Chains A and B, each alone.
Chain A
Amino acid sequence: MTAPGTEELEQLRPYLLRYALLQLRDRESAEDVVQETLLSALEGRARFAGKSTVKTWLTGILKHKIIDLIRRRARDQPLVSDDDDGSEAEAADALFQADGHWQQFPADWGSPERALEDKRFREVFELCAKAMPLRTARVFMMREVLELSTEEICKELGITPTNLWVILHRARLALRECIEIKWGTAAA
């Protein structure tokens, strides 16, 4: 087994940057955290055990660095501001009638393959993900990009599982609504 070289690590920079950007949503922090990851990897490359791919190994380092950053930020800015919480609750409620029926039935998006292969779907998806309120996006991406468990996210952010599930549910409702409106319009 040989330690990965500088070039091999450097080739993964675009991948790492995209990963970090999805979670952090600001280029400067994403670039910093990727730079730190590549440096740590270079310093520690003798320890790369070759049990996983270099990509998996680097992703693991990056994930730790991102979680550290989120933890520091969570200390500085409390996670759920009351304002955000109120307006997002209203937005979620507005999607249903008083008797609990959908205002508008979610449409059939076809098979996952079809949606994911559709360039327009991917554009709309990126657009709608970027439109998420910052705090919601932070939590949602911890779940979907970092793939942390309920326990891990609650521990990092100091919230309860019930809180977390409400935030995630509202995030999904808003995201699918946005996609459906924009993608539907495009298809018509």
Chain B
Amino acid sequence: MLTCKESSVLLSQAQERPLGLGERLRLRLHLLACAGCTNFSRQLRIIRAAIRRQRDEDA
């Protein structure tokens, strides 16, 4: 079972590279049981969207 620390590393790397099948499965299993990491995963997507919005919004 992945720890939260390990999951957070994989969630971040998922924004950089396609994860392998084993990595994806272990991550899904962890996320099923862990609300904190599920929130972290959403936060990463919000952060990415927030930067793009700040970059692109009309002056």
Chain A residues engaging chain B, CB cutoff 8 angstroms: 14-15, 18-19, 22, 96, 99-102, 105-109, 112, 115-116, 121-122, 125-126, 129, 141, 143-145, 150, 161, 164-165, 168-169, 172-173, 175-176, 179-180
**B residues within 8 Å of A by Cβ?**
3-6, 8-9, 12-13, 15-17, 35-37, 39-40, 42-56, 58-59
**Which B residues are CB-close (under 8 A) to A19?**
55
| Interchain residue pairs with CB less than 8 A apart (11) | A15-B59, A101-B5, A106-B40, A108-B35, A116-B53, A125-B50, A129-B54, A141-B51, A143-B16, A144-B52, A172-B44
Known: A15-B59, A105-B35. A126 touches B54 (CB 8 A): yes
Number of A-B contacts (CB under 8 A): 96
Q: Is the CB of B54 within 8 A of A18?
A: yes
Q: Are B59 and A122 in contact (CB under 8 A)?
A: no
Contacts A14-B59, A145-B55, A173-B8: A150 and B16 contacting too (C-beta < 8 A)? yes
